[in-house]
Amino acid sequence: MRAAVAAAAGATWNDGEPILTRVTAPGALACEARGVGKRYGERAVLDGVSLGLRPGDSVLLRGRSGSGKSTLLHVLAGIEPPTEGSAWLAGQDLATLDATARARLRARHVGLVFQHFNLIPDLTAEENVRLPMELVGAKGGKERALDLLQRVEMEAHARDFPGSLSGGELQRVAIARALANDPRLIAADEPTANLDEASALRVFALLAALAADGRAVLVASHDPLALRFFPRRCALHEGRLAWDSRAQS
Ligand SMILES: Nc1ncnc2c1ncn2[C@@H]1O[C@H](COP(=O)(O)OP(=O)(O)O)[C@@H](O)[C@H]1O
Ligand SMILES: [Mg+2]
């Protein structure tokens, strides 16, 4: 039964763990954890976690507070190295890169969305969206920033500073910023934790739609509203990743 469900979801098997995608050329995956373990001292936060996202995959990562959701996102984004196994981003084994190369790869291929939005208060919405493009030396930033703000229906607020925007508006700007360098992976960590229900629904709908554009979208959230948008779900419990098979059928 589990195998049938996994097959239906396009999953293969890897050491008994379902992963979402067939591991062919590593380049075909936006990101991948292979047998990832992460320890802080004695505490094993992640234990043998394998997960791969192809362009177009969206996955909801659940698990109670402290279960390691943020840690897994950080490993996949190349922010934290795993203590066991390997993490791959855009076809590259992150362990083979130095800190500068990892940061460059992350700037190019990962868009991060945070619970607290993390916009720069002294920059307008448009300047916040432009910033990641400037960091990688991309041209045409202003026009692209305005296009991205339109994508999240925030073009009317392009010249506004974060201080004058609501939580839902801030998160939409943050999503536009995450898209700045056309990343393969969007990783959102509790993106609706500080939003009202209407804003949360809008943010989840936007994130889910990004997968339809061909991005890999990984959303860590314990917000029940997320269930409406992400049929593929997994959860961390005691360091292990388990798939919600009901959701995949
Ligand atoms: N830098 C760190 N040093 C020590 N322990 C950490 C560190 N980061 C996270 N942890 C611990 O790892 C566990 C998982 O944290 P986290 O990934 O933030 O969980 P979640 O996002 O699911 O709430 C927690 O017990 C947390 O205290
Ligand atoms: Mg967290």
Quick one: which ligand is closest to 71's CA? 1
Best mutation site among 45, 46, 64, 190 for ligand 1 pocket (most ligand atoms within 8 Å of CB): 45
d(CA 213, CA 83): 33
**In the chain, domain spans:** 2-247
d(CA 21, CA 233): 14
Per-residue confidence (pLDDT) for residue 21, from 0 to 100: 41
For 193-206, how does the pLDDT look when each residue is reduced to its tens digit (9 = 90+)? 999 999 999 999 99
- Ligand 1, closest atom to CA 220? 21
For ligand 1, atom 24, the nearest C-alpha belongs to 66
Find the 218 Cα to ligand 1 centroid distance in Å. 18
The count of other CB atoms within 10 Å of the CB of residue 7 is: 12
Residue 212's H or E segment, with its range, is: helix 197-212
Query: Average pLDDT, stretch 133-154?
Result: 95
* Between 220 and 7, residue with greater pLDDT: 220
pLDDT above 70 as % of the chain = 88
Q: Pick 2-247's CATH classification: 1.25.10.10, 3.40.50.1100, 3.40.50.300, 3.30.420.40.
A: 3.40.50.300
Q: What Rg, from alpha-carbon coordinates, does the chain have?
A: 18
Tell me the pLDDT of the chain averaged across its residues: 89
Q: pTM of the prediction?
A: 0.89
Contact between 78 and 94 under an 8 Å Cβ cutoff? The reply is yes
Confidence of residue 27 (pLDDT cuts 50, 70, 90): low
For 38-92, how does the pLDDT look when each residue is reduced to its tens digit (9 = 90+)? 999 999 999 999 999 999 999 999 999 999 999 999 999 999 999 999 999 999 9
Find the 154 Cα to ligand 1 centroid distance in Å. 33
Query: Average pLDDT, stretch 147-174?
Result: 98
Per-residue confidence (pLDDT) for residue 28, from 0 to 100: 81
Whether 16 has a pLDDT exceeding 60, the answer reads no
**What is the DSSP annotation of 116-171?**
T----TTS-HHHHHHHHHHHTT-S-HHHHHHHHHHHTT-GGGTT--GGGS-HHHHH
- Ligand 1, closest atom to CA 68? 17
Per-residue confidence (pLDDT) for residue 15, from 0 to 100: 37
